[in-house]
Structure 1
Amino acid sequence: MPRTEDVLNSLKQAVTVAVHSTRELVGKVEQAAAEKEHERQETFQKNQEEGKTKPGDTYAPLRRKPGLRPLPGEELGLSVRLTFWDVLHHLARGLALSQRGASRGLAEHWGSLKYCQALSADATTHLKVSEEGKRIATYYKALQSEELGHAFALAVSEEILTRRYPDHSISIVRADTALRAGWRLTSRDKTKTKTVGYQYRPQFFAEVWKPGESSRVFPIACKGNHSDRRKVYEQLASAAVHADGVHIGAWNETPALLFSTEISLSDPLTVHALHADGPGGWLRIPDDTPAADIGLPVGDENPAVGIFKPGKGKDPDTSEPGCQIGPRHYKWFQRALARVGAAGLTAFAGDGESTAALLTARQGNDFFQSFAHAAAGSVHDARYTLLGERFEGTDHVFRLNGERVQAFSGVAKDILDALVTREGEEQRADIATYRQRAHAWRTKPNGTFWDHEWDGVVSISRDGTVLAMRQIPPFRNE
Structure 2
Amino acid sequence: MTKGVLRDLARPSNVAVQSDSALVGSVEVAVAKDDKKRAEKGTSLRRKSGLEALPRAELGQSVELAPWHVLHDLAQALSLSRQGAGRGLAEHWGSLKYSQALDAVADSYIQLSAEAKGIARDYKRLQSRELGQGFALALARQALLRRYPDRFVSFVSADVVIRAGWSKGSVGYAYRPDFFAEVWKPGEPSRVFPIATTGNHGGPKPSYSQLAACSAHVEAMHIGAWNETPCLVFSTEFPSEGPVTVHVLHARGEDGWLYGSPEHPLRSVNSPAEKGNIVPGIRPPTRGDRVPQSEPGFHVQSEDSAWFQHVVARTATAGTTAFAGDGATTARYLTTDQGSRRYDAGVAHAASGSVQDATYRLLGIPFVGTDHVFRLNNKRVEAFSGVAADLFALLSAGKAEEYRSEIYARRGTWPGQTWDPNWGGPVSIQEDGTVLAMRLLRLRKSTSTEDAST
TM-score (norm 1): 0.87
1:8-31 deviations in whole A, cap 9, x for unaligned? Answer: 111111111100001111111111
1:83 equivalent to 2:47? Answer: no
Aligned length: 444
Identity, in percent, stands at 51
Q: CA deviation at 1:453?
A: 1.7
Give the Cα–Cα distance (whole angstroms) in 2 for the partners of residues 334 and 327 of structure 1: 11
Give the Cα–Cα distance (whole angstroms) in 1 for the partners of residues 249 and 327 of structure 2: 36
Equivalent of 1:438 in 403, 407, 411: 407
1:384 equivalent to 2:382? Answer: no
| One-letter amino acid of the counterpart of residue 147, structure 1 | E
Q: Hey, what does 1:175 align to over in structure 2?
A: 158
Query: Would you say the 8 A contact 1:196–1:306 is kept in 2?
Result: no
Q: CA deviation at 1:311?
A: 4.5
| One-letter amino acid of the counterpart of residue 388, structure 2 | A
Query: Would you say the 8 A contact 2:170–2:297 is kept in 1?
Result: no
- CA-atom RMSD in angstroms: 2.4
Match of 2:141, SS? helix
Q: CA deviation at 1:125?
A: 2.5
Q: CA deviation at 1:364?
A: 0.9
Equivalent of 2:248 in 273, 295, 302: 273
1:232-283 deviations in whole A, cap 9, x for unaligned? Answer: 0110000000001111100000000010001112221100000000111100
Equivalent of 1:328 in 303, 327, 330: 303
Give the Cα–Cα distance (whole angstroms) in 2 for the partners of residues 390 and 26 of structure 1: 46
Query: Would you say the 8 A contact 1:374–1:395 is kept in 2?
Result: no
Q: Hey, what does 1:165 align to over in structure 2?
A: 148
Give the Cα–Cα distance (whole angstroms) in 2 for the partners of residues 238 and 247 of structure 1: 17
1:185-206 deviations in whole A, cap 9, x for unaligned? Answer: x5xxxxxxx4355211100000
TM-score (norm 2): 0.92
**Correspondences of 1:95-174 after superposition (within 5 Å):** 95-103=78-86, 107-122=90-105, 125-174=108-157
Query: Would you say the 8 A contact 2:196–2:233 is kept in 1?
Result: yes
| One-letter amino acid of the counterpart of residue 276, structure 2 | E
Equivalent of 2:48 in 65, 75, 97: 65
Equivalent of 1:471 in 437, 440, 444: 440
Give the Cα–Cα distance (whole angstroms) in 2 for the partners of residues 370 and 100 of structure 1: 17
Distance 1:125 1:103, change over 3 A: farther
Q: Hey, what does 1:398 align to over in structure 2?
A: 374
Structure 2 residues without counterparts, runs of 5 or longer: 446-454
Give the Cα–Cα distance (whole angstroms) in 2 for the partners of residues 472 and 181 of structure 1: 40
| One-letter amino acid of the counterpart of residue 62, structure 2 | S
Match of 2:405, SS? helix
Match of 1:404, SS? strand
| One-letter amino acid of the counterpart of residue 243, structure 2 | P
Q: CA deviation at 1:363?
A: 0.3
Give the Cα–Cα distance (whole angstroms) in 2 for the partners of residues 104 and 300 of structure 1: 22
Query: Would you say the 8 A contact 1:178–1:336 is kept in 2?
Result: yes
**Correspondences of 1:414-433 after superposition (within 5 Å):** 414-420=390-396, 428-433=397-402
Q: Hey, what does 2:418 align to over in structure 1?
A: 449
Match of 1:212, SS? coil
Give the Cα–Cα distance (whole angstroms) in 2 for the partners of residues 415 and 252 of structure 1: 38
Match of 1:363, SS? coil
Q: CA deviation at 1:77?
A: 0.4
Q: Hey, what does 2:383 align to over in structure 1?
A: 407
Query: Would you say the 8 A contact 2:81–2:88 is kept in 1?
Result: no
Q: Hey, what does 2:37 align to over in structure 1?
A: 39
Q: Hey, what does 1:4 align to over in structure 2?
A: 2
Give the Cα–Cα distance (whole angstroms) in 1 for the partners of residues 106 and 362 of structure 2: 31
Query: Would you say the 8 A contact 1:414–1:437 is kept in 2?
Result: no
Give the Cα–Cα distance (whole angstroms) in 2 for the partners of residues 73 and 64 of structure 1: 25
Distance 1:106 1:173, change over 3 A: closer
1:195-224 deviations in whole A, cap 9, x for unaligned? Answer: 355211100000011111111001111110
